[in-house]
Structure 1
Amino acid sequence: MPQKSAPSQAPAGLDPRRWKALIFISLAQLMVVVDATIVNIALPSAQVDLDISDGNRQWVITAYALAFGGLLLFGGRVADLWGRRRAFIIGLIGFALASALGGAAQNEAMLFAARALQGVFGAVSAPAALSLLTVLFTDPKERAKAFGIFGAIAGAGAAVGLLLGGFLTDYLDWRWTFFVNIPFAAVAAAGALAVIREPEEARNRSTLDVPGVILGTLGLVALVYGFSRAEQKDWTESVTVSMFVASAVLLVLFVIVESRVQSPLLPLRVVTDRNRGGAYLSLGLAMIAMFGLFLFLTYYLQIVRGYSPIKTGVAFMPMVVGMMVGSTQIGTRLVTRVPPRVLMVPGYLVAAVGMLLLTQLDLNTSYWGVVVPAQLLLGLGLGTAFMPGMSLATERVKPTDAGVASAMVNVSQQVGGAIGTALLNTIAASATTSYFTSHAAGATSQGEQALLQLDSMVHGYTEATWWAFGILLVSAVAAFVLIDSRGHQGPAVDADGKPVTDEPVPVMAH
């Protein structure tokens, strides 16, 4: 058996077009990640233009989040069953068409439908992109470089979205925050057609687990909607509570079904592996803190400091630089020399120090003295941690399960983002109200009340940032406790728990 593994690995590990493929895979990932924040900047203008009510405007964000988060596992399995290259290209074309519909929207219904369709096709293309990397790059050093670039883009894309969204909204029109996706998708799809060749042995020939698709999708949709509803309404509101209960029931049923069917949507071995489980958990926790950072720092810079949308985007560039350096220079250079845990734990701790700096924000905080150093530390730390985390999350899986393992990375990020936005926003709002109420007696004039309002907002942001700091510490602890010191626990195993030795399995060298 061992003699068979070397020849079968060669085509996947030595595909001469793999580095060109990385360019187009990364471009597609950038488009999906940028889209998560670019629309936030355009939302106020779109709301006025299409006469969207305050009560309905959140559906521009929620429609995308529900479709994307709910369908990720299905999208990942589709890539495994029907081909990652095919799923990748279909996802890109669909995303481009949905973006065109959004840019041409004449009313709120068209815009909401476009956002939901973007989520559907994003859920197909995102897992396919990451799983293509997993099966194309099997050499440890090359894999480290590829995941370093991919991880930097995944982390920095949100900040790039703020900059691009600000530029397009300020100088063109909010509709261009949708239209800009079309050239991204066209170039990535054309490149994929030309250079990506998926290893034939990585295809999964089993059948689709329909009960798993229904239970998993509905469970994730209920979970994401529960957090979205909690942010808009209240954590104890009846619909919010019923969504969380429904999600718990559906996901428990999902696990039961997956443990019994012959070809599960999500083979439980993918998540019960100690290292992969630790990677998913720590990445999800870090995303809670990261989404909180983008949310509150954007509010702080625009509302409190009066920055324009484009100036706000530029103000996030230190984090992008830190993320690129942490991922492509520190993570990539060291991940083949030391276990992932040795990079992930210090990475999350450095990011936590950056978050700690942001708890010191006040009405007149120096951008260069506090915000820039905080962003650099956050970028360096998260970039260093994300790169080995994303690699570990897809490492040692059977190639036929690469799509669904990649989808779990996206699920952890999406659910983490939903929790971060809802939980930290609630904490901030509560702290803001409490601070304003307790200090209102001292603000007699209109000017004093306006100043108190801003002061209360900043107090709310810093209270939530303390929580984000704590969550990053928990992320570091999760990585330390769950991920073993070697970073791997032997070869991948099949459904019966037997080692897989005759398939090309990416293994990191430590």
Structure 2
Amino acid sequence: MRRTNSSAPRSRWSALVVLCAGQLMVILDGTVVSVALPSIQHGLGFSSSGLAWVVNAYLVPFGGLLLLAGRLGDLVGRKRVFLAGLGVFTAASLLCGVSQDPATLLASRFVQGIGGAVTSAVTLGMVVTLFPQPRERAKAIGVYSFVQSAGGSLGLLVGGALTQTVGWHWIFFVNVPIGAVAALAAWRVLAPEQGVGLGRGTDVVGALLVTSALMLGVYTIVGTAGRGWASAHTLGCGAVALALLLAFVVRQAKASHPLLPLRVFRSRDVSGAMGIQALMVAGMFSFQFLCVLYLQKVLHFDEMRTGLGIFPVSVAIGALSLGLSPRLIARFGPRAVLLPGLALIAAGLAALGRVPVGGSYAVDVLPALPPLGIGFGLAMPALATLAMSAATPQDSGIASGMFNTMQQIGSAFGLAVLSTLANARTDALLGNGTDPAPALTDGYRLAFRIGACLVAVSLLLAVTLLRSPVPARRPRTAEEIPVPENAAH
């Protein structure tokens, strides 16, 4: 199942391009919809409360199925799972584009979330298997991390351009030819895998428990925007989700063939990277979501200008993820690269926490973007390297699914908490007679500061928990470095 060094380098890098193309399509869809929401509401007659479910109907199955899909990749072969996910995602995108009423669009978005989860869950595991040598793996993970990190910002630009020029339907239609080409290329380029077999890991009870727990948990978090954190619905659903998750952990400790082998978490680097990633993404989401609102509602940017305004972050992420970060990780180790990355993200969010009402993009927003992009371009490849450091070839799919699951949980949690706090501050000020623009700005400032605090906590955890060894000052060539089956605990 594992690719070896005998694989032609060109074919391995071609496979990486195909994997990242499929992943980019899924990542773009997570944000490309956000700038088109007003047009979708006008075109299909969504209510204000129902409009949020254009996003949530995708997030709930996406966050809930990543873990299960990752394990299925280990059992039946990651290529099969990747192709199945691409097929479902592409077909659902077509259904989204032809939707003529809210119910059809929401149902199609739910199916699209299933396809996105199945595609994303196995991608990182396939990247790690394709590139077993540390230095090449660092470069490959840098490419993957660029797609993960910059895809969200690129989605804002693409969504704004398509919505303004040809209409919101095309944010979904554009996925159809891309998905078809990616699936054909994946069929030709990716090596076939047999997996370890369903008989060696079919934990049906565990699968039902964790999928139910994660889907209910994401549903509960995204529903807090309308119901509040202290409502009976939120508390009740949250308690059930936690109970299901606890039952899943107990099941995994006792099952002969667990869905999620708990040995994956014996490494402090792996466990720490998962938690750090969730907090970092939760904080960073205040930028991706609320900076867009600040540009549109306070500075009155249109969709295209908003996408262009965020684009410098994508440029910085690309420059770091594709170039400098892999070399730094290979030379100094992922922990040494992660720490300054988290510090830069926190500094960028803190700078956005000072945006004024009558602000200027060039003076008040643009200076905060390079630290965010550079920091994320450093931190994301380092976290991916740490999270996969203890994964064996048989467990790389589940480790990949877990890494993506923590990202989705962090995103949902960040969106729910930060938007709720921002809205509460704004509503309080409006109730006291404050004008809309100052009230909105004060709410956004609060959310940016809370986001900076979340990233600062992740930095503290990285300093105290991670024990990543520093490579030798003068590393050997990739061919000379042995490939460990398991990272040291």
Q: What TM-score do the two structures reach when normalised by structure 1?
A: 0.90
- For residue 400 of structure 1, give the secondary structure of its aligned residue in structure 2: coil
Amino acid at match of 1:455: P
Question: Is structure 2 residue 244 aligned with structure 1 residue 250?
Answer: yes
What is the Cα deviation at residue 485 of structure 1? 3.7
State the Cα RMSD in Å: 2.1
Task: Report the counterpart of residue 78 of structure 1 in structure 2.
Answer: 72
Residue pair 2:339, 2:379 contacting (<8 A) in 1 also? yes
Alignment of 1:142-153 (within 5 A): 142-153=136-147
Paired residue for 1:341, among 332, 335, 338?
A: 335
- Aligned-pair CA distance for 1:326: 2.2
Runs of 4+ in 1 over 2 A off after TM superposition: 7-16, 198-205, 433-438, 503-509
Deviations along 1:236-265, whole A, 9 cap, x unmatched? Answer: 111111111011100000000011111111
Q: Which residue of 2 aligns with 1:455?
A: 438
Does structure 1 conserve the Cα–Cα contact (< 8 Å) formed by 2:283 and 2:454? yes
Change in 2 beyond 3 A, CA 1:13/1:266: farther
Which of 193, 197, 213 in structure 2 is aligned with 1:219? 213
Q: Distance in 1 between matches of 2:253 and 2:487?
A: 28
1:138 equivalent in structure 2? 132
- Alpha-carbon distance, 1:61 to partner: 1.1
- Establish whether residue 482 from structure 1 lines up as the match of residue 465 from structure 2: yes
Cα gap change, 1:8 to 1:112, in 2 (>3 Å) = closer
1:10-60 Cα shifts (integer Å, max 9, x gaps): 357656510000111111111111100111112221122112222322221
1:456 and 1:201, CA in 2 relative to 1: closer, same or farther beyond 3 A? closer
- Cα 1:487–1:276 change in 2 (3 A) is farther
Q: Secondary structure at the match of 2:33?
A: helix
TM-score by length of 2: 0.94
For 2:395, what is the secondary structure of its paired residue? helix
Alignment of 1:436 with 2:430, yes or no, is yes
State the Cα deviation string for residues 107-127 of structure 1 (Å, max 9, x = none): 111101110001111111101
Q: Which residue of 1 aligns with 2:148?
A: 154
Alpha-carbon distance in structure 1 between the residues aligned to 2:391 and 2:154: 31
Distance change >3 Å, CA 486–CA 318, structure 1 → 2: same
- Higher mean alpha-carbon deviation, 355-364 vs 312-321, is at 355-364
Distance in 1 of aligned mates of 2:157 and 2:345:
22
Distance 1:426 1:468, change over 3 A: same
Q: Distance in 1 between matches of 2:58 and 2:224?
A: 17
SS of aligned partner of 2:228: coil
Q: Kindly provide the CA deviation profile for residues 65-93 of structure 1, in whole angstroms up to 9, marking residues without a partner as x.
A: 11111111111011111111111111101
Equivalent residues of 2:79, 2:193 under 8 A apart = no
Deviation readout 1:172-227 (Å, 9 max, x if unpaired): 01110111111221121111111111566877861311011110011111111111
Matched with 1:88 is: 82
Deviation at 1:396, TM superposition (A): 2.7
Matches within 5 A, 1:324-473: 324-438=318-432, 440=433, 452-473=435-456
Which is worse superposed, 48-57 or 10-19? 10-19
Amino acid at match of 1:149: V
> Identity over aligned residues, as a percent?
35
User: What letter matches 1:67 in structure 2?
Assistant: P
- Cα distance change, pair 480–173 in 1 and its aligned pair in 2 (3 A): same
1:153-302 aligned at under 5 Å gives the runs 153-198=147-192, 206-302=200-296
- Structure 1 counterpart of 2:441, one-letter code: V
Describe the shift of the 1:487–1:183 C-alpha distance in structure 2 as closer, same or farther (beyond 3 A): farther
Contact 2:82 2:123 (8 Å CA) reproduced: yes
Q: Which amino acid aligns with 1:358?
A: L
Aligned partners of 2:190, 2:235: CA distance in 1, in Å? 45
For 2:102, the aligned partner's letter is E
After TM superposition, the structure 1 stretch with the greater mean CA deviation from structure 2, 198-207 or 126-135, is 198-207
Which secondary structure does the structure 2 equivalent of 1:10 belong to?
coil
Number of aligned residue pairs: 478
Conserved 8 A contact 2:76-2:195:
no
1:19 corresponds to 2:5: no
* Pairwise CA distance, 1:338: 1.1
1:392 offset after TM fit, Å? 1.6
Q: Check 1:12–1:385 CA distance in 2 against 1; reply closer, same or farther (3 A cut).
A: farther
Alignment check: 8 A CA contact 2:44 2:101 kept: yes
Q: Which residue of 2 aligns with 1:304?
A: 298
Partner residue in 2 for 1:494:
none
Q: Quickly say closer, same or farther: Cα 1:188–1:12, change in 2 above 3 A.
A: farther
- Change in 2 beyond 3 A, CA 1:8/1:120: closer
Report the CA distance between 1:505 and its aligned residue. Answer: 5.0
